[in-house]
């Protein structure tokens, strides 16, 4: 009897969890041993970060114990990868141990690099993790008017629609409190439009104009001066603020760069259709860890995992898998006034930003339930 193939998945976030659970559903334990290595005690549903600062959701419903989320038959090792040697098929761990693999799936996500921008620490706020979302809720409670500046500091960053979603929710929050007329909202974006995709940008920009939101495009943050409350772009523009809500710079994990699998950015170049690293047919990267030209979002990891789990399951059983990944992504994004729109797109198909509805907003608001009960478990 042949030994079971060992699939090692680095990362216990959305990409790693979905991948492990989907692969477990498609393979038998006698054929495939699935090992996840991660160090998160709690799993946080990041899209709820736009709701939590406005107390539109209870944060307790956005968090689950990490171990609880793996299907039966998935091994979970609480540890941290410190190095990868693809030529020897080994992963070094922080505990001092190492592990071998037949297949390696890198789902290590990315990280915030606060030091990339002088003045960011202690001055800028954000909603990209639970702690900072809760802190921002308290800050907004005490805000009584002034100039709020919002935007991503640079590209790429997680969940691309989140900054404009937050901006729409902020506009409504200020109106409900009766202080919108006392507040200027300024939105910055690194490109020459307010979003990466042109038709979505045009749609969002029209809604910004309707709500009196001031935009600053081609704005890549260079520095923040907390003394005179000014954020400065690389392009040379200065914007004053009373409250600065700025998405921090993102980079891939340092361990990836140290292992020489990526350059200083830390993002891994993979085949856009096979998700494989260079010419290795046993090393893959998914989710935010890749340098693919698509959204860094849980929805992306969902579709990538669907493809990759099927591919590996077919290979292990001795069958050929001819399908490829086409950059497919689907996400629901808030457009304000209790409405949202659902975008579906791929490498060759741009999203259509035309229809928004209250039903789509309900879908977005309840998405954590679907995420924890179905998507993470590999059912969807």
For position 355, what pLDDT does the model report? 86
pLDDT in tens, 26-60: 999 999 999 999 999 999 999 999 999 999 999 99
CATH number of 114-249: 3.50.50.60
CATH 3.50.50.60 residue ranges of the chain are 5-55+62-109+253-328, 114-249
| pTM score of the predicted model | 0.96
- pLDDT digit string (tens) for 233-249? 999 999 999 999 999 99
CA–CA gap between residue 174 and residue 177 (Å, rounded)? 5
Q: Kindly report, residue by residue over 269-289, the tens digit of the pLDDT.
A: 999 999 999 999 999 999 999
Half-sphere exposure of 195 (CA within 13 A, CB side): 25
Which residues, at least 6 apart from 177, have a Cβ–Cβ distance to it below 8 Å? Answer: none
Dihedrals φ, ψ of 245, to 5°? -115, 100
DSSP label at residue 262: S
- Which position has the higher pLDDT, 354 or 161? 161
Give the pLDDT band of residue 67 (cuts 50, 70, 90): very high
Where residue 68 falls among pLDDT bands split at 50, 70, 90?
A: very high
What is the pLDDT at residue 1? 56
| Pairing state between β 74-78 and 221-225 | unpaired
158 or 2: which carries more pLDDT confidence? 158
Mean pLDDT of 94-113: 98
d(CA 132, CA 183): 22
* pLDDT of 2 above 80: no
159: left (phi over 0), alpha (psi -120 to 50) or beta: left
The mean pLDDT value of the chain amounts to 96
315 burial type by CB count under 10 A (0-12 exposed, 13-18 middle, 19+ buried): middle
pLDDT band at 379 (very low <50, low <70, confident <90, very high): confident
Instruction: Give per-residue pLDDT as tens, 184-216.
Output: 999 999 999 999 999 999 999 999 999 999 999
Q: Report residue 172's pLDDT band, with 50, 70 and 90 as the boundaries.
A: very high
Residue 29's contacts (CB-CB under 8 Å, 6 or more residues apart) are 4, 73
Average pLDDT over residues 251-260: 98
pLDDT beyond 70 at 375: yes
Q: Report phi then psi at 164, rounded to 5.
A: -75, -30
Across 308-329, average pLDDT: 95
Q: Does domain 5-55+62-109+253-328 have CATH number 2.40.50.100?
A: no
What percent of the chain has pLDDT above 70?
A: 100
Cα 108 off chain centre by? 11
Identify the pLDDT of residue 191. Answer: 98
């Amino acid at each position: 009897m042949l030994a079971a193939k060992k699939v090692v998945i680095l990362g216990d976030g959305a990409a790693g969890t979905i991948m492990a659970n989907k692969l477990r559903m498609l393979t038998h334990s006698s054929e495939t041993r699935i090992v996840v290595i991660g160090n998160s005690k709690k799993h946080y549903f990041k899209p709820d970060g736009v709701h939590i600062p406005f107390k539109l959701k209870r944060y307790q419903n956005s968090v689950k114990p990490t171990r609880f989320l793996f299907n039966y038959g998935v091994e979970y090792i609480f540890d941290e990868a410190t190095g990868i040697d693809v030529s020897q098929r080994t992963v070094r761990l922080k505990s001092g141990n190492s592990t071998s693999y037949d297949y390696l799936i890198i789902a290590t996500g990315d990280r915030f690099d606060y030091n990339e921008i002088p003045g960011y620490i202690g001055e800028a706020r954000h909603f990209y993790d639970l702690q900072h979302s809760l802190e921002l809720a308290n800050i907004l409670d005490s805000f009584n008017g002034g100039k709020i500046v919002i935007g991503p500091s640079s590209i790429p960053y997680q969940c691309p629609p989140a900054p404009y979603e937050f901006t729409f929710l902020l506009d409504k929050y200020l109106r409900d409190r009766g202080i919108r007329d006392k507040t200027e909202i300024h939105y910055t974006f690194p490109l020459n439009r307010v979003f990466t995709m042109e038709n979505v940008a045009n749609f969002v920009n029209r809604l910004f104009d309707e709500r009196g939101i001031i935009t600053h495009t081609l704005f890549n943050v260079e520095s923040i001066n907390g003394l005179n409350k000014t954020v400065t772009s690389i392009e040379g523009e200065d914007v004053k603020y009373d409250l600065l809500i700025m998405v921090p710079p993102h980079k891939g994990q340092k361990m990836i760069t140290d292992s020489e699998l990526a350059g200083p950015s830390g993002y891994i170049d993979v085949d856009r259709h096979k998700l494989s690293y260079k010419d290795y047919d046993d090393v893959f990267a998914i989710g935010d860890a890749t340098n693919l030209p698509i959204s860094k979002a849980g929805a992306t990891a969902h579709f990538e995992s669907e493809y990759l789990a099927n591919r590996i399951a077919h290979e292990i059983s001795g069958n050929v898998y001819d399908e490829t990944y086409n950059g497919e992504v689907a996400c629901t994004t808030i457009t304000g006034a209790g409405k949202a729109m659902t975008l579906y797109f791929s490498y060759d198909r741009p999203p259509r930003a035309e229809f928004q509805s209250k039903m789509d907003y309900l879908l977005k608001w309840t998405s954590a339930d679907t995420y924890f009960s179905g998507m993470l478990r590999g059912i969807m």
